Structures are given as C-alpha cells and as structure tokens.
Structure 1
Amino acid sequence: MAAGDGEPDPAVQQRPQLQSKKVCVVGGGMAGLAAARELRREGHAVTVMEQSGDVGGQWLYDPTTTHGVVPSSAYACLRLRTPREAMSFSDFQFLPRDGPSRDPRRFPGHREVHFYLRDFCAAFGLMDAVRLNTRVVRVAPTSTTTRQRQWAVRSVRLLGGPDDDARVVFDAVVVATGQYSHPMLPSDIEGVGEWRRRQLHSHLYRTPEPFRGEAVVVVGCGDSGTDIALDLRRVAREVHLAASSEGATPAVSRMVANHGDVLRLHPRARRLHADGRVSFADGSSVVADTVIFCTGYGYSFPFLDTGGAVAVGDDGCVVGPLFEHVFPPSLAPSLSFVGVARKVLVPWFVEAQARWVAQACRGSTPTTTSAALT
C-alpha cells in the first residue's frame, strides 16, 4: 500500500522525536557560554561546570600562578590581535562601554574581553546554570547501549561545601575546555633536564617584574613569544628571541630591529647547557638567567573516559576522530566538542558549532555516522 493510502509514511516513521535533554557543559569560557546559550534556546536543561571563580575561561586573568591548577594562560599585557568587531557573537555586539574599568580601544586588553563575556552571560541569563569553582574529574558513559547512553559526571567543589564531591547523570555532555591549558614543551631542544637555572612555559608568565635585570631567552616567535619579549624589554638586561624551525617572519624582524638596544633575534634554540648557556642552530650561544618557552599548547581531556572512542594524538595537537571537529561518530550526539578547531574566528565559529550541537541533542538535525568518515 502506498503512503497516503492509510499506511504511515516511512520517512515520518524514521524522523526522530524532538525532545529536551539534561546536558552538562564542561567549561565556562567563550565556547562553553555559547553552548549553554544555544542549548537553552532549544529547550534543554543545562549545567555549566567551571573550575575558576568566574566565567570567562582564558580571558579571566589570574595574577597568581602558585596554586595547584592554573586555568588561564593570560598575561597582564595580553591584548586582542583582531578588532573587537571580529570577537562578537552574532547577536551580541562587542561595543565599547562606559565605565571606569572599561577599555574602549578597538584592540582592547584581556580585562575588557572578560567584561564582554560577563555581559553576554548576564544578557542571556546564564549565570543560574553555572557552577563555579567546580572541577570535573571524570566523565564516562553509564552504558554502552546507543539508545540508552547517558553520562556520569563526577565533579569536585574546589572550595568545599555540602556537595564537594558529586556524581550526576546527564543525557549529553559538551566538552568546551578550550585549547590553552596544557602547555607543550619542545622535544627538539637538548639539555632541558640539565638546565639548573629558571625555566618556565608562557602559561605561567604574568608580568616582567620578576625578570628585572636578567638575561632572558624567549623560545618561540608566535603571538605569546613576541608579546612577552616586548614586555620583558622594559626591565630585562637582555632579551634573546629564538625563532622556530620556520624562522622569524618579516614582522618579527622589524620588531627586533626597532628595539635593538635590548632585543636580539636568533635562529632555533638547539641546546640548554648546565653552565647557563643557550646555544642556537647557527653555533652562537648566550648565557641566560631564564628561559621562557612560548611553544604552544596541546589538547588534554584527563577527565574524559570514552574507552578509546576519542583520543589525543601523541603530539597533543590532534583530537579525534571528530566529525567536523564536533562529534565523535560512535558517540554522537550525546558527546560533543565545541571550540577545539584552531585558527578560526572564535565567537562566530563556536556559536555555529554550539547551535548544531543543541539541535542535534534535540533530534532536529542530523549529526553523522561512522560511515561519514570513510
């Protein structure tokens, strides 16, 4: 019997029933807040778990680096390198605002970005869904059955309290922990273990004052490397900027030339010596008090247990398999990632990802199957 003659249409029979889900978002930064907003718009019950004392993620500047976990990599001089117009969500513009602590510049500092994210959170009433000072320690499926899959989320309240160790079951989990919390050290520099003087990753850099009067080698000429080198030149005796294997860009060369009284540009750092010398690929060397590695970050999800369905590559730079950088094929749509793609305009990109996740959780848009990756 043909459809329309009393027999149900097969396409209608296979269409998923729209439903609201109980969803946990891990991370209260830009990606996590975008996910929370889109999930709520689709009618889901959302809980955002954030280990810091406020929303904002990497834009929540913390001047201290002495406690056990350092969630943010922001340093005091950090500013946007793209104009504020490009850092807006589609329906919440990043406009200059009046106030004694606001930064009206087109390329504002980290504090203004944090204010913007707090304003976004307030405008869409998201704070009641956010659990601050809450660290997620384990996320694992409660069952291997696809139809009944749920996720047990164990969290710890960092400040203690009646629910300082809780286990809650959710229908879906969105991982939105960002890209800048797992520092990567170079594997091609010899003698790192022999170096007896101070060395640190840019993740722990905040201000130049601790390096006053020192000779500092900054390894890496990316955004953080050039920012920190310029910051250090105000107080350091010498700042030696070591290029990556690709060499310095013309912009970096011009920057060094403009501050040649303190800044020096070198090729790739080759070895750290026990006597304090740092040698470079061209055979030259300098004696340094401190080495700062501005060598980037890798992915890390120590709380996530998927039984191998999602893994981080050995180099820390790839996580997968993820369809369109969002859904693990075997676990979609109950597990998703927002904000892992790099070199994108972050607000617009994570907003689009979050909208897809919210609709997929409700059953109103498809995700993928394993066959889509073959």
Structure 2
Amino acid sequence: MSPTQQLLSDKRVGVIGAGAAGLATAKELIHEGHKVTVFEQAMQVGGLWVYNPEVDSDFLGVEPHRKRVHSSTYASLRTNLPREVMSFIDFPFLTQQGRDERCYPSHKEVALYLENFAKEFDLLHVIQFGTLVEHVELVTMDSTGEKQWKVITTRKIDGVVDEVKEELFDAVVVCSGHYFEPKIANIPGINNWPGKQMHSHNYRLAEPFTNQCVVIIGTQPSGMDISRDVANVAKEVHLSGRNWNSSIDFTKPMGRHQNIWPHSTVIKTYEDGTVKFKEGSSTIADVIMHCTGYRYYYPFLDTKGLVTAANIVKPVYQHVFPPSLAPSLSFVGLLHKVLPFPLFQFQAKWIAMVLSSKVKLPPTSEMTESIKAFYDQCEASSKPMHQWHDLGDIEFEYLDWLADQSGSEHLESWRSKMKNIAFQHLFNNPDTYQDQWPDEDLHQEALICLQQLEITR
C-alpha cells in the first residue's frame, strides 16, 4: 500500500465505552493505524465490571427521567466462567500473587485485568474519562464521498458540566454494552400489590433483605446467583422461572440454606401482598425482584430509523454492521451467552481491517439478504426475538468465521471444551460450581497454553 493509499485508509474513529468491548476495539483500531478517541462516562476503564454502590433513583428502572447508574455489578459478583477461558486472545488472564487467585474470580479482579490490558497496550491516552455521549448523528459526506458522524459529548467534573464538545468522525463503534436498561415482567395485579419491586440492575448487597420474604423472577445466571446471595439473610426466597428442568420438584426447597423455593411463573399478585404462581402455590412477599434481563438501549444514537434497538438491534450484518451505514457505524458486543473478551477482539479486528480497506464487506444488498435469511430462520424455528443475538450451538463456528475475516488464528480447542463443561458444571452444581473445577487435565492444558503465550508475547 502506497503512503497516499495508507493515508486514505486511516480513519478518525469514535469508540463509545471503555469496558472490555471498547478497550478491545481501541487496541485493534490503533493497531491498524486509525486515529481513535474513546468516550467513557466513568472515571476508569472496566465498564460493567466496575462496582458502583450507587443505584438508579427508581429501583425498578422504568422511570424515564430517573438518575441512571451504568453498572449492574453487585458486591458478591464472581464470574460464571473460569478466568482462563475469559482471556483476551493475546493477553492471558493469569493469577497474580496477592490478588484474587480463584478460578472464578470476583468483579474486582476482572476490573484490574481490564485496567492492566489498557496499560499494556497504551490505551489510556486515547480515553476521555468522565465524558457522556449525548448525541451521535450522520450529518455530512466528506470530500471523498465518505460518511461522517457528529458526536456531541458532555464532560463533568464533580457532577458539574465542564465542557460540551462537538466533533466529527469518519466512523463510530458502539461498545457501550447492554446490561443497564432493565426489562421487567408483566404481572397481573401488580399495580395494587403493596410490596417493594426492584430490578436486579439495582441489587448491590443482601443485607437490606434480612428476614424478608423475597420473590425473584428469572432463573438465568443472575437470578440464580442473586437468589443464593439473598438466601444468606432472607427468611425465604421464592425463585420463579419459565424453563425449569422437568425433574424440578416445586414442593421441596433448594440450595444449601434450604430456604430457596422453586416456582413456575408468577400469574397474579394481590392487595394483601400475596404472590401466586402457575403451579398453584402462593406466598406473601415483601419484595419482588425482576432478574429478567435488559433491553438494548442507545438513546444517543440517531440513525433516522435505519437501526432500531429494543429486544434486539436490527438490522445488523453478522451482529456487527448495519448494511446501509456500513462500515462507518458498527457494534461490538451485541451477542450474549458467549466468551465475551475473545468475541470482542475478533469483532474489533474485523471492523478495524474493514475501515482500513484491507477487508471488504459484501455489497449492501447481499448483507441485507443475509440478515433477512437469518431472521426468517429464527422465526421459522419460533425463536423469541430477544434471543436472536444468542448464537447457541454455533458460537464457535461464528468465532472461527470472524477470525477468518481478519486472517487470525482460530481459538484454541480447549476454550470450547472449557466453556461447555463450565455451563454443565453450573447447571449440575449451582451452589458450589465457582469453588471447584471438575476437569483438572483441561485446566492444566489451558494454563500451559496461556503461560506459553505470556512468555512469547
């Protein structure tokens, strides 16, 4: 590539968010020679892994003008995957003496790992901390006919607005995550129910639930995790879900404290505090906690309706590029139930190389057809829309495809084995899975691989 061609391929790129996705994206964009600015509303890197004791002013998370807190991390949170399998592809997540050395470490350990990643790859100087992205809009075409984006940001110091800035970028990558805009269950009679409601986004500590009867809606990892945490102090925990194993016995308690009672879905609540479940049982509860997931929410992003976000973000080619706005707009990290850090890095490599013109996207029409075929397949299989960013069994096939786009090596085979075992281990041993790993040979294989990478990188 000639110097002139190199100059034309270098882009000024705005990255929204300095969590794991934003850091991976900044690293890969810089590696490709792009001029990067990362906007982060917090005062440190780490995104959702940074614990913040503050919560939204509305515990349920439905008041549109509430004071919002980005992080959903609670004090006792640990990873639900072993640290080795979470590692970035070129930055091993190994134990460090004097820190949390557990296989399933705490949120604090993950945040430190991400801070080390940012320092290792010299990313801190491109991050504007304490900066909230207020508006992102496609506004002009530059002299070469390329799209440009206006980004308006507000910087605050000690809660006071210090600067409002407007900048133009050749491309914007949205890396702000999707675990902060609560989605709640629709419960008949809830408007007259006298107890307290909240969403897991605003859960931090178990102590406020001491001696209370708590109904937790949702049996995904956060619901299971929080129910065990609350059970340490609560009188009773009633865990309500739609997708229990067929062998579940709704008449017997579960968990080491024997005070967690499984139930089917909540079908009605009453003015006397009663919560009734589909299988026929009921309880008088003090609290209903919605561990019911999140909506995709990007209030700053104005695409004139070309991209929408709620249960999913659509349309996006391969969960990354909106066809009509590609490659100038992209998303990293829309998928869930995946190996997050390697996924972010592979997506970021692809984006960076497309922006460098080293990799070409298919024509807009072809990307649109691919998306339509995918949506048709989801509908034909009766897959709920909120699961369309869930890859299921094809996760590692997708990761291999991403690796091929950037000419990268595929993930090591031990990663898929370790992830599959980890989720089976969680399912079989929900109370103890974070404290013991069932396959030491596989653990040693992963350690040796990562230690060798640490030596050679």
2:173 is aligned with what amino acid? Answer: V
Structure 1 residue 258: deviation in Å? 3.8
Among candidates 12, 28, 31, match of residue 41 of structure 1: 31
1:350 is aligned with what amino acid? Answer: F
Structure 1 residue 182: deviation in Å? 1.1
Structure 1 counterpart SS, 2:27: helix
Query: 1: distance between equivalents of 2:145 and 2:212?
Result: 61
Could you tell me the TM-score, scaled by structure 2's length? 0.73
Structure 1 residue 213: deviation in Å? 1.1
Equivalenced residues, count? 354
2:342 matches 1:327: no
Query: 1: distance between equivalents of 2:160 and 2:90?
Result: 37
2:155 matches 1:157: yes
Q: What are the superposed Cα offsets for residues 252-299 of structure 1, whole Å, 9 maximum, x if unpaired?
A: 98x953436311111111122222111111232110011101001111
Among candidates 217, 221, 225, match of residue 223 of structure 1: 221
CA 1:66 to 1:268, structure 2 compared with 1: closer, same or farther past 3 Å? closer
Structure 1: segments with no counterpart, 5+ residues: 1-11
Among candidates 234, 244, 247, match of residue 247 of structure 1: 244
Q: What are the within-5 Å matches in structure 2 for residues 211-360 of structure 1?
A: 211-243=209-241, 245-248=242-245, 256-259=253-256, 261-312=258-309, 316-360=310-354
Q: Is the 8 A contact 1:18 1:364 kept in 2?
A: no
2:21 is aligned with what amino acid? Answer: A
Structure 1 residue 251: deviation in Å? 8.9
Structure 2: segments with no counterpart, 5+ residues: 58-66, 370-457
2:419 corresponding residue in structure 1: none
Query: 1: distance between equivalents of 2:43 and 2:50?
Result: 9
Q: What are the superposed Cα offsets for residues 1-38 of structure 1, whole Å, 9 maximum, x if unpaired?
A: xxxxxxxxxxx9xx998521111100111100000000
2:145 corresponding residue in structure 1: 147
1:239 is aligned with what amino acid? Answer: V
Q: What are the superposed Cα offsets for residues 70-101 of structure 1, whole Å, 9 maximum, x if unpaired?
A: 111111111111111111111100000123xx
Query: 1: distance between equivalents of 2:249 and 2:127?
Result: 41
Q: What are the superposed Cα offsets for residues 183-231 of structure 1, whole Å, 9 maximum, x if unpaired?
A: 11123x2123222321100000001011111110011111111111111
Query: 2: distance between equivalents of 1:224 and 1:113?
Result: 17
2:128 is aligned with what amino acid? Answer: R
Q: Is the 8 A contact 2:232 2:257 kept in 1?
A: no
Among candidates 194, 201, 204, match of residue 202 of structure 2: 204
Structure 1 residue 326: deviation in Å? 0.6
Query: 2: distance between equivalents of 1:251 and 1:33?
Result: 42
Q: How large is the RMSD of aligned CA atoms in angstroms? A: 2.3
1:185 corresponding residue in structure 2: 184
Q: What are the superposed Cα offsets for residues 306-363 of structure 1, whole Å, 9 maximum, x if unpaired?
A: 0111112xxx221111111111111111111011012221111110100011111111
Structure 2 counterpart SS, 1:257: coil
2:53 corresponding residue in structure 1: 63
Query: 1: distance between equivalents of 2:102 and 2:229?
Result: 19
CA 1:249 to 1:362, structure 2 compared with 1: closer, same or farther past 3 Å? farther
Structure 1 residue 249: deviation in Å? 7.2
2:414 corresponding residue in structure 1: none
Segments ≥4 residues shifted beyond 4 Å: 15-18, 160-163, 248-253
Query: 1: distance between equivalents of 2:73 and 2:161?
Result: 32
Structure 1 window deviating more from structure 2 (162-171 vs 45-54): it is: 162-171
Q: Is the 8 A contact 1:221 1:248 kept in 2?
A: no
Structure 1 residue 302: deviation in Å? 0.6
2:102 corresponding residue in structure 1: 105
Structure 1 window deviating more from structure 2 (362-371 vs 175-184): it is: 362-371
Could you tell me the TM-score, scaled by structure 1's length? 0.89
Query: 1: distance between equivalents of 2:161 and 2:181?
Result: 30
CA 1:250 to 1:202, structure 2 compared with 1: closer, same or farther past 3 Å? farther
Among candidates 355, 364, 367, match of residue 358 of structure 2: 364
1:355 is aligned with what amino acid? Answer: K
Q: Is the 8 A contact 1:25 1:36 kept in 2?
A: yes
Q: Is the 8 A contact 2:156 2:162 kept in 1?
A: no
Structure 2 counterpart SS, 1:153: strand
Question: Relative contact order (C-alpha < 8 Å, sep 6+): which is higher?
Answer: 1
2:199 is aligned with what amino acid? Answer: H
